[in-house]
Structures are given as C-alpha cells and as structure tokens.
Amino acid sequence: MSIAGKWGYTHSDEHYHGAFDSAEQAAAEGGSPGDSVQVGQYREPAPFSEAVDVDIRNLIESAYTHDDWCGDWAAPQIAPSKEQCNDLEVAIRECVKQWTERHGMTLSFGVVELSSIRTVTVPE
C-alpha cells in the first residue's frame, strides 16, 4: 500500500510518523494546540529494482574466483563491451522487478519530499 501523497510529522527532522490526508491533520497528531510541528509529504521511493547495486564488472569478475574459471584461459572468453554490460544491467533490474512483483513484495513506506517540508501550527 503506497502512502505517496500523504503527510507525516516529525520531532527529530529524521523520522516521520503517520500517513495523514493533510498537513494540518499530521500536525494535529504530532503536537498539542498552539505547538509548531514540522510536517512533510511522502513521495514514492525509487523502485527496489533501481536501488539494488548492480555492479556488472564485479559480477563478471566474481566468476573468475570459481575453480573452473580461475585460469588465464578463461578471462578472454567473457569480456563484454560497455553496451553489453549496460544491457545485462537492464536485464537484471527487470528480473528483480518481476521477482518482487511475483512475491508480492510491495512498498508500504514513502520518502518525504524535501521541498514539501514545512512548519504548521496546531490550532488552539
């Protein structure tokens, strides 16, 4: 369940709490009448498949630690170009995306959009 577009409040400038329909509702939950409360609006985080570190060169190099591939004869066999590495990265990210969808791994958090952060005074 996405909370993008909802509002949260914070007392620490770091951790936001709640998912409210308005900044005023978030402030009311986070403070008492007359208090000034910092609130921010959530956006969707980057997809997990984009957040995964896909270091293709490291992936390929790791194969050369396997007993069957550790000799000098193996190195020239798999030497992809930059374009081929980019193609493999795209394929891996798509695979991760499909995997998370297949297993129902959906996001239930948001990232506070920095430009939305403001202070709201809770009405008396």
Number of domains in the chain: 2
E-assigned strand segments in 1-124: 7-10, 17-20, 36-43, 111-112, 118-121
| Torsion angle, alpha carbons of 62, 67, 73, 76, to 10 | -20
Task: Give the dihedral sign, CA 57/59/62/66.
Answer: negative
Residue 105 has what pLDDT? 86
Residue 75 has what pLDDT? 64
Q: 58 with 92, same domain? A: yes
Q: 65 with 97, same domain? A: yes
Query: Is 1 a member of any domain?
Result: no
> Domain containing 33: what range?
7-45+107-121
Q: Give me the mean pLDDT over the 117-122 stretch.
A: 96
Note the pLDDT tens digit of each residue in 30-78: 999 999 999 999 999 888 888 888 888 888 888 777 777 777 766 667 7
Query: Is 114 a member of any domain?
Result: yes
* End-to-end Cα separation, the chain, in angstroms: 33
3-state DSSP call for residue 97? helix
Note the pLDDT tens digit of each residue in 70-112: 777 666 677 788 999 999 999 999 999 999 999 988 777 889 9
Q: 53 with 28, same domain? A: no
